Amino acid sequence: MPDTAQFAGGRLQSDILLGMKRVGDVLFSQSMPAQASANIQDIFQLEGEPLVQSQTRWLVADAAAISFAGAGYELANRPLSASPVKAYLLKSVTVTANKDCEFNIQIGVNSSAVVSGGGNAVTQVLSLYCLKGVPVTVDLGGLVLRGGSTQADVRAWLRSVDSTEKTNCVFTISLNGRQITDDLNFSATKTILAVSDSIWAGTGQTTKLANLPWSIRKFYADQGIDCRLLNKSISGSNSSGHDSWRDNGRYDGISNVALIAYCLGVNAAADAATEVANLNRWIAWKQANHPDAKMIVFGPTPVYDNTAETALATVRTALSGAVTAAADPNILYRSLAATFTRTVTGNYADTGAPYVHPNNASSLLVAADVVGWLGTALPAI
């Protein structure tokens, strides 16, 4: 995407290297193509989830003992660090404090450059003066996302504490907005819907193409398919959760679904019967609502624990059988059980048991396996 693109009478400001994209009036243009309008409606009404790390609170025991030299005193625990697969639509930021103080809030890339001499590494700096107990809210109106190999984030520096009493200082920053899939191809004619848990939500992955849904999206885009990804994976979720959310409308109204990628079972692997029952309801929903769409059911990636892996193997067999029983040429099955060596703890992103999240290298192996299979099976969308 060019740095500044004409789009439906509006302008989409894009600073890819800086990790932030300005959306301006593009999202609300009345003259945009109907498909783009429908896809954007999906984003706001159907896809957007509450921000992770939406509120950050700091306690400074004694502000008189810290240095405000240079950029100021950087507050640890950044309010937001962008995931490789998510974009964050920030509407506004609210700052409160129990002392009179001055903040600098930087939106930009994670680098050694800071507020005092950030140069072009900084996309936006807010300088705020807060009176004790009085919230200050500033409109932002932008998408924060990773650019290339950089890590986009929001950072905060304390510039001064002007109250006479400088002990037990409490500062709070709240980011108001939503997180969406980092796919700004609003005018795409086909949607790839991903349904899974933390593994597809991005846990353990440091690059976008280590995320399997993104590799699937890239595969089809490389074939000339005008598609976008809608990743509805949620950390900690299981098939019963997604089954309930679907029945309550979470997946209704999504435009032009061409492919459903489904991978659940790690978080409830002991009950293969439940996994099959939930999958069968997904298949029925797909056939009723998106009969021409393809659906790929993935047998989950392996886990380190032998007992858990044995249960998961039973789930994979059951899921494969359910796909066979459906006898629908638009529904395929692919096991991810042998995509990396499960018995090496170093192949997981987890620092301790249970080892279930493939690390970036293992995730790339998973993606390569699936992309190679897609090139052979080529389920057209």
pLDDT of amino acid 306: 96
| Planar angle of CA 321, 328, 199, nearest 5 degrees | 60
Separation between Cα atoms, residue 81 and residue 88, nearest integer Å: 10
DSSP-based three-state secondary structure for 352: coil
For the chain, residues classed under CATH 2.60.120 are 51-180
Q: Is domain 188-377 annotated with CATH 3.40.50.1110?
A: yes
pLDDT of amino acid 211: 95
Q: Which CATH number fits domain 51-180: 2.40.160, 2.60.40, 2.60.120, 3.90.79?
A: 2.60.120
Separation between Cα atoms, residue 193 and residue 251, nearest integer Å: 9
Separation between Cα atoms, residue 103 and residue 261, nearest integer Å: 44
Amino acid at 192: I
Strand ordering across the sheet containing 257-262: 227-231, 190-195, 257-262, 294-299, 331-335
pLDDT digits (tens, 9 = 90+) for 111-142: 443 433 333 445 677 888 999 999 999 887 76
For the chain, residues classed under CATH 3.40.50.1110 are 188-377
Residue 142's φ and ψ, nearest 5 degrees, are -150, 165
pLDDT of amino acid 184: 78
pLDDT of amino acid 147: 58
pLDDT of amino acid 273: 95
- Cα distances from 367 to residues 185, 217, 266, 373, in angstroms, run 22, 11, 18, 10
pLDDT of amino acid 365: 98
- Cα distances from 193 to residues 121, 274, 296, in angstroms, run 34, 22, 10
- Cα distances from 153 to residues 17, 236, 239, 313, 366, in angstroms, run 13, 24, 32, 39, 28
pLDDT of amino acid 278: 97
Of 229, 260, 216, the closest CA to residue 368 belongs to 216
pLDDT of amino acid 118: 37
pLDDT of amino acid 171: 94
pLDDT of amino acid 207: 86
Residue 101's φ and ψ, nearest 5 degrees, are -160, 170
Paired strand residues for 59? 170
Residue 137 near residue 105, CB atoms below 8 Å: no
Two structure tokens written together for 86: 């998510």
Separation between Cα atoms, residue 158 and residue 149, nearest integer Å: 28
Two structure tokens written together for 331: 């529904």
pLDDT of amino acid 45: 52
Q: Which residues of the chain have pLDDT under 70?
A: 1-50, 52-53, 108-123, 142, 147-151, 269-270
Peptide bond preceding 354 in cis form (omega within 30 of 0): yes
Separation between Cα atoms, residue 367 and residue 196, nearest integer Å: 15
pLDDT of amino acid 109: 54
Specify the length of the chain in residues. 381
